[in-house]
Amino acid sequence: MLPIRDENPTLHPPVVTYGLIAANIAIWILLQGMGNEPALSRSVCSFGLFPAELLGHVAPGTEVQVGPGQSCAIGGSPRLLSILTSMFTHGSWFHVLGNMWFLHVFGNNVEDVMGHFRFLVFYLLGGLAAALAQVFTGPDSTIPMIGASGAIGSVMGSYALLYPRVGIRTFVFLGFWAQMVVIPAVFMLGYWFVIQLASGALAPGEGGGVAFWAHVGGFLTGICLTPVFRNSRLLEAHRAMAAAR
């Protein structure tokens, strides 16, 4: 299922959401060479999060392959900043554009009821919690963790809590059948969460390189943090506007 747009108006321009999208795309183009080598591999080595390195579970100088003929040495002192930098790096055009599309669809309304600064802090904390969830479910992993999906998972968890009944125009495709349908947010996002949870539990080894537990951790963190970060006045104003339409 691919969400196209929601039936949920906004009170204010989502400047932080747009800023995050712009920052991720700028980093992809300027620092990651739009996926071309050797820029992509160098960026993963410099800004990716390696769980085993963060926890000191790997010998200094351990070589890790990050691309065709590309490797980097890890295992020095833990790079704590990589928890943050990994949120802004991606592995492919599909990876970055897919993440930014989900942030575009769901971020504006969550930002609308938190306010700009609160939403930024919420997003970063969600990404931090998501990264740590992945680290502690695979503490010996040398697979680099990159991408904004954990932080965006927290936004999706928040959206499901705040707007469970809002319709999401979703493109559904099953084999040769495809249809545009309107699905309540709680079902569309709940389906996404269940898929991540099942994939994390059933995927062999280290999840095939997909950080399923980061997605799960981010989603649950978003639900838990929303009551703290939402602005009750903005939420009531937003609901009143939506009801008046």
DSSP string, 160-200: HHH-TT-EEEEEEEETTEEEEEEEEHHHHHHHHHHHHHHHH
Of 23-37, 48-62, 95-109, the poorest mean pLDDT is in: 48-62
Q: Taking residues 175-196, what's their average pLDDT?
A: 91
What's the structural domain count of the chain?
1
With a pLDDT cut of 70, the percent of the chain lying above it is 96
Tokens of 115: 């306010």
Average pLDDT, the chain: 91
For residue 28, what are the domain limits?
2-244
**Stronger pLDDT, 68 or 199, i.e. the higher one:** 199
- Beta strands per DSSP E along the chain: 2-6, 62-67, 70-74, 167-174, 177-184
Maximum Cα–Cα distance for the chain, whole Å? 62
For the chain, helix, strand, coil in percent to 5 are 60, 15, 25
Query: Which of 81-90, 132-141, 170-179 is predicted least confidently?
Result: 170-179
pLDDT-derived band at 78 (thresholds 50, 70, 90) equals: confident
**Packed helices 212-229 and 116-137: angle between N→C axes, nearest 10 degrees:** 150
Q: 113-161 pLDDT, tens per residue?
A: 999 999 999 999 999 999 999 999 989 999 999 999 999 999 999 999 9
SS3 for 219?
helix
List the CATH number of the domain containing 92.
1.20.1540.10
Contacts with 86 (C-beta within 8 Å, 6 or more apart), sequence order: 47, 48, 49, 131, 144, 145, 146, 147
